[in-house]
Structure 1
Amino acid sequence: MIKFSVSVRAMSAALMIASPGVAVPVFAQQAQGPVRGTASVPGTSFSIDELYRYKSLVGIDPQGYSWAADGSAVLFLWNDEGYAFRDIWAWSPRTGQKTRLTFLGKDSKPEAEARGIAQAVFLDHGRVAFTLGGQLHIREADGKIVKVEGDKRGIRKLAVSPDGGRLAFLAAAPNGSPVAAGGQLWVRDAAAGEGAAATRLAGSDDPKLYIEDYKWADSGKAIAFQQADDRAMPERDIYYDAKGKLQNNRVIRAFPGEETSKTVIGVVDLATARSRLFERPDPKHDVWGYGLSHDGKRLFVSGADMEAKEHTIYLYDAATGTRETFYQLREPRHLRPDWQVAWAPGDDGLIILTDRDGWLQLYHQKKAGQAPRQITSGKWEIASFEVDAKNGQLYFTANESALQDRQLYRVPVAGGKIQRISGPAGGTHEPVYSPDFSRIADWYSNDDTPPELYVIDTAKPGKAAQVTKSPQPDFYGQSWARTSYVRFPSHVDGINLLGRVSVPADFDPAKKYPVIVGSVYSDAVRNQWGGRRAHPTWGLDQYLVAQGYIVLTVNIRGSWGQGREHNQTQYESYGETDINDLESGVRYLIAQGHADPKRIGIWGSSYGGLMTIMSLSKKPGLYAAGIAGAPATNVWHAFPAQMWIMGPPEGPDMPARYEAQSALYQAKGIRDPLMIIHGTRDSVVLYSDTMALAEQMVQREQMFELVTLPGANHGWDAENIPQTRFSFKKMVEFFDRNVKNRK
C-alpha cells in the first residue's frame, strides 16, 4: 500500500491556521490565499444569482496578450468594472502604468453579454488593429477608430509581419459561416488606413476548403499556412425546437471510421503571391505543428496517426519540395498527442517536446535520423515551450513543482540546470513572451486567487508586477472555500492518485459531510481559481461548499502530466479505469472520517457525463445521486480523434469494445437518482443520443429526470447568465433533495 502523505484531518487543520498570502505545504504545494475574506460567516453568503451576475463578482479575467515589437508595451483585453465586454488596454514596463485605449463597451448593455473585442495587435506609431464582431478596426494614434476591410466577415487571427510592415488575417469564405474554424488568408499594408484593400494569398471560395492557421516567416517575405479539406466529410442535420419553430444546425461532422479532414501545409511567397503545397504521404494524419526555418529554406511538419501511436516529423526543402523523414517514433503504449516542435537557434535542427522516455521532456535533434539529445529530464512533464534563439534559452511551462501546478522555467539549449522564473507560490501560469524574452505577460491564478495579468522581468526571476485587479469589492468580504490536495492509492491497482478537496471555511474534522465528486473530467485537478476553466463552475462549487458540502475532484488516468505509465490502463477503457479512480477518491474521504458514505453525489459534463452514468450503473449504492450534463453516451458518435483513448472502430473485439465504453449500452444497472441536462443544438454530443438512452430507460422503467435546454449547445452552462443560473439552481435542488437531505 502507498502511505498517505497527510490526512484530510491534518490538511484541514493546516488550512484553518493559514494566513493570507502564506503558502501552507500540503503534499507538494497548497495554494496561497491573498484574497481570502475576513467575514465572520462560515462561508460565502452569496446566492447562485449573486455568484453569477452581469457585473461579475470575480471580475473579467484579462486575455489576448500581445506585445509591441520592441517590447515597450503589452496589449490586453479587459473590463475593469466586471462586465463581459472587453476593451483594449495597454501596460508600459517603463512607467508601470496601464492605459485604456478603447471605450466601446461603455454603451453596451450588460445583459447582452457581448464578449467584446476578440483580438488586438500593435501596428506602427501607436496604432492598434483589432477585431470586433468579426470586423477589422484600427485605432489610430489619436484615438480615432475606423473600420477597414468592411467587405469581409469572420475576421480573426491577426498577425503582424516581423518587420512590422504587413498585417495578415483570416476571413470567412463568402459562402461559409462567420464562425467557421478557418477561411481565407489575407494580407494588407500595416500602415494603410480606411479605403486600402487587402490581398488574398490563400484559401478557396469553397467553405470546406479553408485555411485554419498560418505563421509568418522570420524574414517577413513568406507565410506558412495550414489548409484543411473537409469536402469528403459527411454533413449532418441537427434538428431542434427553439424560439417557437423547428431549427436546423447543419454541421460537418465525422464519426469514428468515417472520412475526416485532410490537412496540408503550404508556403506562400509574398512577392509573387504564389503558393506551394507540401504533400504528406499520410494526409489524413493529424498535424501537430509546422514551421519555416529562420532562413526560410526549410519547413518541418509534425504529425501523428489518429490513434497517436506514431509521431513523425517531415522536413522539406522550401524551394524544391523535397521531403525527408527527420524524426519518427512508434510507441504502441503511447496515449496522449502532446508533442510540440520548434526550430533550434541558428536552424541547428529541431527542439522536440516528446515523451519518448515516458515523460514529456525537451530534446534537441540536429540531423535527420540522428538520436535526439535529451535536454530536460525527470518524473514531471512540460506542457509547452518557446525558443529564445538569441540567447540560446528554452522557456517552458511545467508541473515540476507539483502535479497541480503550471510554473515557468528556462534552461539552456545546451542543457544544464533548469531555473524557475515564476514566484514561490503554487498556481497556474500562462505566459506570452515579449519578442526579446526580456519580459513575460503572465495570466496567473491559484485556488484562492481569480486570474490576473502579471508581468515578469526575466532578469529578476520570481518577481512580478501585478497589472490588473479584477474582483469586485464585495468579493473580499466573503469567506471562500478552503482548498488543498490529497494523495491516495487506487483501490484497484494501488497506483498513486491526486485529488483536489474544497471544504467549508468552518470545516470540522469531527463531522461527516455530504460530498460532491465533480465536475469529473480528465485534467480536472488544477491549482487555479475554480479548478477547470472549461466550465464556469467556480461559483457552483463555492455555493455547494458554503452550504455544507465537500467538493472533490480526482486526476483520473489519461490526464496530462502524470507520465505514460500512469495512464496505461485508460486505453480502451472509457467508463472503467476512470470511474474506479473516482471511487478511490470517495473511499479515501470516507476512510478519513469526513465523508458521509450515504451522502455522496457525482456530476460531470460531456466525457464527465459518460463517467457519471457509468458510475451510477456499475457502482450502484456508492453514489446517492448523479447529474450528467451533455453526456457522451455513445462513443460510436465521438470525434475520430478520440480513438487515441477508445481505439479504432474495427477489429475482432468490435462492436463489443465500443459498447463496453458507451453508457448507452451500460445503463441497465442504474438504480440511484439521475438527472440529465442537455442542450438540443449540441453538435459535439448529440441530443439524439440522450433521447436514445431515455427511451431505453423508460422501457426498463428506470426513473430519471431530464432537463432540456432549448437551442443550447455543448457548453450549456456558459452560454448566457439566465441559462447558467437556471441550470445550476436545478442541480443544487437535485443534490440537496437526493444527497444533502437524504435520510
Structure 2
Amino acid sequence: MGRFGLIRAFGTAVMLFLATAAVAGNEVSRQQGVPGGTAEVAGTTLSIGELYRYQSLIGTTPEGYSWSSDSDTVLFLWNDQGYSFRDIWTYSVRTGEKTRLTFLGQDSVPHAERPGISQAVMLGDSRVAFTLGGKLHIREPDGSVSPIETEKQAVRGLAVSPDGKWLAFVSGSPVDTRNRVTLGGELWIRSTEDRRENSARRLVGSDDPKIYVQDYEWADDSGSIVFHHSDDREMPERDIYFYADGELQNNRVIRAFPGDETTRARIGLVSLASNEIRYFDRPDPKHHIWDYGLSGDGKRLFISGSDLEAKEHTIYLYDVGSGARETFYQLRDPRHLRPDWQVDWAPADDGLIILTDRDGWLHLYHQRNAGEPPHQITQGEWEIESFAVDGTTKSLYFTANKSHLADRQIYRVPAAGGEVERVSGSASGTHQPVYSPDFSRIADWYSSDTMPPELFVIDTDRPREATRVTRSPQPEFYDQTWADTRYVEFSSHVDGMKLVARLIVPANFDPTRRYPVIVGSVYSDAVRNQWGGRRSHPTWGLDQYLVGQGYLIISVNVRGSWGQGREHNQTQLHSYGGTDINDLESGVRYLIAQGHADPDRVGIWGSSYGGLMTIMSLAKKLGVYAAGIAGAPATNVWHAYPSQMWIMGPPEGDDMPARYEAQSPLYHAAGIEDPLMIIHGSRDPVVLYSDTIALAEGMIEREQMFELVTLPGAHHGWDLENLPQTRFSFRKMIDFFDRNVKNRK
C-alpha cells in the first residue's frame, strides 16, 4: 500500500499541450559555453522591497493536493490574489471548473502573514475536513464552517479510510497544551458522517508527549491502521536562551548530538474493531525507518530501514498474524552516503518494488521472495527520485532526471519491465505529482526556471498533455525582464569528475565581458530547473536583483548531491568542507577560463551546510573569493544532528577527533583573510547560535575582522520567517557584496 505525500498545487483551466511552443519556450540553454543574450537590459529593475512584498509578485504557490475518491475532483490550497493566507479550492476534471470553497482569509491582515489552511481532505457528500491553526474544522455543503474536536490542538495528518467511513488524524499531546518541548502525537479516528463536536476515538496515545505517533497509513480493508511510533525519552533536552521582545526567553528542545541517545522507533498495527495494538520490533530500535507498508490482503508487513550511518539497507518482512520476522533484503556498502531508498508492494502483493542505487544509480527493482536476487526494472546513467505503484495496470509511475540532471519529469514503466514512457510533456522543469486513487489523473505541481509553480492536471490516458488550473503571478510579473538561466558542464580540477552547474546570467549577457560572480547559495542538490532553483530559501528575488545589477550567479551540484550516481556522491564521505568546496572552486575556474568571470571579484554565500562551505572556502581557498556570507553556519560538526553521520562518520575511531575537526570551520577559521559576514538567528535549534559565538570569539582573539548580523529570536530558516526580516537580511547581503565584491578596489 503506497503512501503518496501531499505536494504543492495551482489553477485557471486552460488545455495546454506541454509540447507546444508556449511552454517549450521554457526550455533552457544546456549547451557547452555560454552564448550572449538578446535583451536590452540586464534584468529586473525592481527593488528588494518590490520583489518581496505582501502581495507576492510571483503569486502564492498552490499546495496540499488531495483527490476525491472518484478521481474527478482535486482539492488544493491557494490564494488567487497572491497573499499568504491559503483557502480551499477545488478543480473538477469533468466540468473544467475551479471553485473556491472557503473565504477565511478575506479578512486576514496582509502584514500578519498568516499561512492559512494547512491541510484539507474530502469526506464525501461535498463535505471537507481541514486544519487551521492546528485546529480541526468541517466545511459543510452549504459553505458553513464549524470547528470540531475543539479539545485537541496541533491536529495534523488527516487521512480518510479507503471505504470513506472514517477520518483519521494525529493531535498534539494534551499534557502540555503549549507543546513547548515536543509536539507529541496521538492517533484518532472519527466517523465521516458524525456531526458531533468531540466524537473522536483515540486509537494510539501516551500521557508522555515524548512517545508519539509520527505518521501512519490505512490498511486497504479500512479495518486497521499501521503507524510509526517514536520514543524520545532517552534523548537529551537542551536550553537555547535568547533575548527577543525585550526579555530573556528559552527555546527548550529535544536535540541529540552525534553519540547521544536518539529516537527509538517501531511500527505498530491497531485494529479499529478491538483497539488491539501489535508491535513489530526490529533488532535495533534506534536504527532509521525509511518506509513501511501492509500488503493488500493485510497479512504481511514490510519495514525498510538502515543503521544510523546509512551504510546497511535492510528490509524486514513480517507475518502479521504470528509476528514472525525474516530478512527480505539486505545490502551493505561501507561508503554509502544517501538514504534515498523507497519500498512498496508490487502489484497483487507479488513481492516488493525497491528503489536502490545498488548498481551505482537509483533505479527500480522487483524482488519476489526473501533472499533472492532482485530483478532490475530500470537502468541507465540517470536517477529516480520517487515512485508509486498502480496495481490495476501493473505499472510503476516515477519522477526522474532521465532528460537532464536539473529536471524531474514523470515517467511510467510496466512493473515486469519494458519501455519507459514519459508522461509529462517535453518542456524542461520540475514536476511533483499527486496521483488520483485510480491513477487515471495526476495533480501536477510544475515549475521551471522561467515559470513560478502552478497546478496542472494530467490525464494518464493522454500523456504529455496537461490542463493548467492556476495562474498565480501578479500582472506586473510579466512586465519584467528576468535573468536567463543556463546549465553548464565542466570537469573537476582535482579529480576530473564531471560536474554540472546552474548559471544565471543577465538577459543582455555579453560573453566577452568579465562579470562579478556570486557562488551560491551553495548547498547540496542545488541544481534544479524550477523557479528560484532551491526552494528551501526564498532567494529567487535576491538572485534576480543581483543579476539585474550585473552579477553572474552559479550553483554547482557538489559531491554528496542527488542525481549523478553513487560514484559522484560517495566521494563526499568524511569530507564536509573538502571535496564539496573543491567542486565550487571548479565552477569558478570554469567561468574564469570561459572569460566570463572577473577573478578578483568572486563572492560566495550559503546557509547552514552552505554556511559551512562558505567559511571553509574562505579559510582554505585563499585568493579564490573576495568575500563570503555565511547564514546560520554549521561551524562545529560535533553539534550536528546524528543523521549527519552519513557523511561525517561516527564520533569514535582511531581518526578522532581529527576527522570531526577537519570538517568543522571552527578549527579552520584562523586561515580567513577576506571579508566575512555571518547572519544567524539567536533562537536556532538546528545550528546553535552559541556555535557562531564560539567562532566569533576566536576571530576576535585573533583580531580577524568580520561582520555579525544577529536576528533576535529568529529560527534556522532566517529568511523565511517574515518579510521585514527577509528584506532586511537581503539588503544587508547586497550591501556587503557590493562593497567587497562588485566595487572591490
TM-score range (shorter-chain normalised) is over 0.9
Q: Deviations over 1:700-728 (max 9, x none)?
A: 11100000000000000000000000000
CA distance in 2, matches of 1:578, 1:200: 48
Structure 1 residues 296 and 29: alpha-carbon distance in aligned structure 2, compared to 1, 3 A threshold = farther
Counterpart residue number, 2:240: 238
Structure 1 residues 446 and 182: alpha-carbon distance in aligned structure 2, compared to 1, 3 A threshold = farther
Structure 1 residues 319 and 383: alpha-carbon distance in aligned structure 2, compared to 1, 3 A threshold = same
Counterpart residue identity of residue 159, structure 2? A
Contact kept in structure 2, 1:241 and 1:711, CA below 8 Å: yes
CA distance in 1, matches of 2:564, 2:184: 33
Counterpart residue number, 2:3: none
Once the two structures are TM-superposed, the CA of residue 182 in structure 1 deviates from its matched residue by 4.8
Once the two structures are TM-superposed, the CA of residue 195 in structure 1 deviates from its matched residue by 2.5
Matched ranges for 1:437-456 at <5 A: 437-456=439-458
Q: Deviations over 1:549-594 (max 9, x none)?
A: 0010000000011110112220000000000000000000000001
Counterpart residue number, 2:317: 315
CA distance in 2, matches of 1:572, 1:203: 40
Matched ranges for 1:410-449 at <5 A: 410-449=412-451
Counterpart residue number, 1:5: none
Contact kept in structure 1, 2:26 and 2:450, CA below 8 Å: no
Counterpart residue number, 2:658: 656
Partner of residue 278 from structure 1, selected from 259, 277, 280:
280
Once the two structures are TM-superposed, the CA of residue 43 in structure 1 deviates from its matched residue by 1.5
CA distance in 2, matches of 1:87, 1:214: 26
CA distance in 1, matches of 2:105, 2:359: 50
Give the ranges of 4+ consecutive aligned residues of structure 1 lying more than 4 Å apart after TM superposition.
Answer: 18-21, 38-41, 176-182
Structure 1 residues 395 and 29: alpha-carbon distance in aligned structure 2, compared to 1, 3 A threshold = farther
| Partner SS, residue 477 of structure 2 | helix
Counterpart residue identity of residue 79, structure 1? N
CA distance in 2, matches of 1:533, 1:129: 28
Once the two structures are TM-superposed, the CA of residue 181 in structure 1 deviates from its matched residue by 5.4
Counterpart residue number, 2:51: 51
Counterpart residue identity of residue 344, structure 2? A
CA distance in 2, matches of 1:322, 1:578: 44
Q: Which segment is superposed worse, 178-187 or 55-64?
A: 178-187
Q: Deviations over 1:189-244 (max 9, x none)?
A: 01112425100001212110000100000100000000100000000000000011
CA distance in 2, matches of 1:655, 1:20: 53
Q: Deviations over 1:6-55 (max 9, x none)?
A: xxxxxxxxxxxx9985255633799xxxxx9x996432111000111000
| Partner SS, residue 736 of structure 1 | helix
Counterpart residue identity of residue 708, structure 2? L
CA distance in 1, matches of 2:674, 2:370: 58
Verify: 1:121 aligned to 2:124, yes or no: no
Verify: 1:71 aligned to 2:71, yes or no: yes
CA distance in 2, matches of 1:133, 1:657: 44
Matched ranges for 1:245-324 at <5 A: 245-324=247-326
CA distance in 2, matches of 1:430, 1:23: 17
CA distance in 2, matches of 1:600, 1:490: 18
CA distance in 2, matches of 1:118, 1:132: 6
Counterpart residue number, 2:84: 84
Q: Which runs of 5+ in 2 are unaligned?
A: 1-20
Once the two structures are TM-superposed, the CA of residue 86 in structure 1 deviates from its matched residue by 0.3
CA distance in 1, matches of 2:39, 2:88: 35
| Partner SS, residue 228 of structure 2 | strand
Once the two structures are TM-superposed, the CA of residue 75 in structure 1 deviates from its matched residue by 0.1
Counterpart residue number, 1:3: none
TM (norm. structure 2) is 0.95
Counterpart residue number, 2:104: 104
Once the two structures are TM-superposed, the CA of residue 184 in structure 1 deviates from its matched residue by 0.3
Matched ranges for 1:584-595 at <5 A: 584-595=586-597
Matched ranges for 1:164-563 at <5 A: 164-176=164-176, 177-178=178-179, 180=182, 182-563=184-565
Q: How many residues align?
A: 721
Counterpart residue number, 2:29: 26
Counterpart residue identity of residue 125, structure 1? D
CA distance in 2, matches of 1:304, 1:77: 35
CA distance in 1, matches of 2:666, 2:351: 49
Contact kept in structure 2, 1:210 and 1:228, CA below 8 Å: yes
Counterpart residue number, 1:736: 738
Counterpart residue number, 1:637: 639
CA distance in 1, matches of 2:663, 2:91: 50
| Partner SS, residue 367 of structure 1 | coil
Structure 1 residues 631 and 283: alpha-carbon distance in aligned structure 2, compared to 1, 3 A threshold = same
CA distance in 1, matches of 2:566, 2:23: 37
Counterpart residue identity of residue 541, structure 1? D
Q: Deviations over 1:423-445 (max 9, x none)?
A: 00110000000000000000000
Counterpart residue identity of residue 267, structure 2? I
CA distance in 2, matches of 1:46, 1:347: 56
Counterpart residue number, 1:12: none
CA distance in 1, matches of 2:221, 2:534: 39
Higher RCO (CA 8 Å, separation ≥ 6 residues): 2
Q: Deviations over 1:328-369 (max 9, x none)?
A: 111112111000000111111111001111111001111111
CA distance in 1, matches of 2:175, 2:518: 47
CA distance in 2, matches of 1:442, 1:102: 22
Counterpart residue number, 1:567: 569
Contact kept in structure 1, 2:629 and 2:678, CA below 8 Å: yes
| Partner SS, residue 452 of structure 1 | strand
| Partner SS, residue 123 of structure 1 | strand
Contact kept in structure 2, 1:147 and 1:194, CA below 8 Å: no
Contact kept in structure 1, 2:173 and 2:183, CA below 8 Å: no
CA distance in 1, matches of 2:428, 2:668: 40
Contact kept in structure 2, 1:157 and 1:169, CA below 8 Å: yes
Partner of residue 623 from structure 1, selected from 605, 625, 629:
625
Contact kept in structure 1, 2:309 and 2:643, CA below 8 Å: yes
| Partner SS, residue 623 of structure 1 | coil
Contact kept in structure 2, 1:39 and 1:477, CA below 8 Å: no
Q: Deviations over 1:488-510 (max 9, x none)?
A: 00000011000100011111112
Partner of residue 578 from structure 1, selected from 577, 580, 594:
580
Q: Which runs of 5+ in 1 are unaligned?
A: 1-17, 31-35
Contact kept in structure 1, 2:40 and 2:508, CA below 8 Å: no
